[in-house]
Structure 1
Amino acid sequence: MQVTLLGTGDTTGTPTVGCTCETCRTARDRGISRSRFSVHVQHEETGESLLVDFSPDFRQQFLENDVPLPEAGIVTHVHFDHLDGLGNVYRVLDSLTVHAPSEVDPVTEESVAGTIRNKFHYLEDRVGVAACDPFEPFETCGFEVRFVPVDHPPLRCYGLAVEEPETGAKLSITGDTSYDVPERSREILANPDLLLADAIVPASLCDRHPIGGRHERPDGTPRTFGTKHMTREGALDLADELSADRTRLVHLAHFYPAEEAFEEPLAVDGERYHLE
């Protein structure tokens, strides 16, 4: 299994358009990009590839990374920075199956699968939407995949476990989530060769959020920024609890102080990992 991090940033990315903060200036000076979140997963035996989330930066991500266009896709939730790149399919791919959760969200009164069908109805001649039940395994591109519910209010959001049956290689993705990941979901995400964990800001910035931080460590360090995303510290704690062999922090905001923003294990676009 080869994993390429196409997009490692949050909803505005780093550098952020029009921003002159020190972190964005440093990223420009060093030629570093954190575009909106997307992950490319290729089965090295069959050559088939799976795209996890469709970033609005789809075009640039595929131009800048030597990876093939996908045979199938995954959508974890309906926020624009994970979904709107699907519109690129119309002129680029003749056909694509997109796997998405079947569970109806009480806020939107639609499932993720239903939202895709309705929003991208003009793609119905090219995009087939496969509705998948949370926790239930399904097969695509030679992988066994499972959606797992996480905590990203007010919408339903899902993490992902991707396994290669032949080698046992496993990729886990937390999805957009707070630290309050349900226990059953943690069990499925556990013991990955590579964990991609949402870590939008360091815990030190929680006092700048109007809601502050949540899910504190015993020493008071917040593991959740506001209500929606893990802090760096929370993501690393979750990685320890999941016994991840390797962890890369993603969905990163430009609010990280410049002296911390590009330190390990914070990911940048273009990283590649071979899992076996």
Structure 2
Amino acid sequence: MKITYLGTGTSQGIPIIGSTHPVCLSENIKDKRLRVSVLIEINGKNIVIDCGPDFRQQMLTNPIPRLDAIVFTHEHSDHTAGLDDIRPFFFKQGAINLYGNERVFNSLKQRFAYIFETENKYPGAPDVVLNPIKNKPFMVNGISIIPIRVLHNTLPVFGYRIENFAYITDVKTVPDEELHKLKNLEVLTISALRIEPHASHFNLEEALSFVEKVKPKKAYFTHISHLLGFHDEVESQLPDHIHLAYDNLKITL
């Protein structure tokens, strides 16, 4: 299994438009973060978790010949706004499989109504196949995926486990009953927004505490804002088994 971090930034990305914050002005490529998404290549299949507004750029930087599925964590724009950019895959391979809960699909139907038209559909719009999921394991092309239900402030959000890799973003609370799904992980990816506390995201201290609780062999932080600080400075202060993810980082499990 190969993991590519397509984007590791928060909802505005880094740099933020018009910002003069030092991190936004950094010339270090690791301080430039697109909206959060990850590509999982496993058993010859390509699965993307979340499809944000930078999806086109991410796919040009990390080209794949086929997109087998998009799995959504939740409906917020930085995780869904790139849906129209699946069209090149649709033109090559046909309808694209989407996985998410019913609330996410209802949001997509409102925001991308032209994709879901049943009569007089515009011929350039992509076709999708909706695969509703709940908080129980499901299969994507023979690959088992385990949802992990967490809270983004009060909004239920899904993280996902595939084999010994888990990916959780936009998290503030992880219910105790979900923790068993995170045992014996090779790699945990978890969001760490900034230094100061936030109402709907782990800050750095909370992310570090959660890694200590779950005890994966390695952890990578994502969904990072400019307020976390410079990549190299923060990375140098982390324990040896914990790292900041950065755009286009590839790891193999």
**Following TM superposition, by how much is the alpha carbon of 1:262 offset from its aligned partner in structure 2, in angstroms?**
5.3
C-alpha contact (below 8 Å) 1:160/1:175 kept by paired residues: no
**Which of 54, 75, 87 in structure 2 is aligned with 1:90?**
87
* CA deviation profile, 1:178-214 (whole Å, cap 9, x unmatched): 1x20012221123221111010012xxx2xxxxxxxx
2:253 is the alignment partner of 1:260: no
2:166 is the alignment partner of 1:162: no
Deviates more, 1:141-150 or 1:50-59: 141-150
C-alpha contact (below 8 Å) 2:153/2:201 kept by paired residues: no
C-alpha contact (below 8 Å) 1:150/1:175 kept by paired residues: no
CA distance in 1, matches of 2:143, 2:208: 26
Aligned to 1:3: 3
Alignment TM-score, normalising by the size of structure 2: 0.86
**Following TM superposition, by how much is the alpha carbon of 1:261 offset from its aligned partner in structure 2, in angstroms?**
4.7
* CA deviation profile, 1:123-156 (whole Å, cap 9, x unmatched): 236111111111x111113321122221112422
**Following TM superposition, by how much is the alpha carbon of 1:234 offset from its aligned partner in structure 2, in angstroms?**
1.1
Aligned to 1:58: 55
* CA deviation profile, 1:102-130 (whole Å, cap 9, x unmatched): 4xxxxxxxx12322234333223611111
**Following TM superposition, by how much is the alpha carbon of 1:18 offset from its aligned partner in structure 2, in angstroms?**
1.7
Q: How many residues align?
A: 234
CA distance in 2, matches of 1:260, 1:229: 21
Aligned to 1:199: 192
C-alpha contact (below 8 Å) 1:199/1:229 kept by paired residues: yes
* Aligned residue type for 2:194: V
Aligned to 1:31: 29
C-alpha contact (below 8 Å) 1:7/1:55 kept by paired residues: no
C-alpha contact (below 8 Å) 1:101/1:147 kept by paired residues: no
CA distance in 1, matches of 2:235, 2:25: 13
Q: What is the SS of the residue equivalent to 2:226?
A: coil
* CA deviation profile, 1:73-93 (whole Å, cap 9, x unmatched): 101111100011112123442
Q: 1:67 to 1:91 in 2, by over 3 A?
A: closer
C-alpha contact (below 8 Å) 2:67/2:89 kept by paired residues: no
Aligned to 1:182: 175
2:168 is the alignment partner of 1:171: no
Q: 1:101 to 1:147 in 2, by over 3 A?
A: farther
2:20 is the alignment partner of 1:20: yes
Gaps of 5+ in 2: 117-125
* Aligned residue type for 1:90: R
2:250 is the alignment partner of 1:272: yes
Q: What is the SS of the residue equivalent to 2:18?
A: coil
Aligned to 1:108: none
Aligned to 1:153: 153
CA distance in 2, matches of 1:62, 1:91: 11
**Following TM superposition, by how much is the alpha carbon of 1:233 offset from its aligned partner in structure 2, in angstroms?**
1.8
Q: 1:34 to 1:261 in 2, by over 3 A?
A: farther
Q: 1:252 to 1:69 in 2, by over 3 A?
A: farther
CA distance in 2, matches of 1:119, 1:128: 16
2:104 is the alignment partner of 1:112: yes
Q: Percent identity?
A: 27
Q: What is the SS of the residue equivalent to 1:19?
A: coil
Q: What is the SS of the residue equivalent to 1:255?
A: helix
Aligned to 1:213: none
C-alpha contact (below 8 Å) 1:160/1:189 kept by paired residues: no
Aligned to 2:200: 228
* Aligned residue type for 1:127: V
C-alpha contact (below 8 Å) 1:65/1:270 kept by paired residues: yes
C-alpha contact (below 8 Å) 1:158/1:176 kept by paired residues: no
Q: What is the SS of the residue equivalent to 1:87?
A: helix
Aligned to 2:212: 240
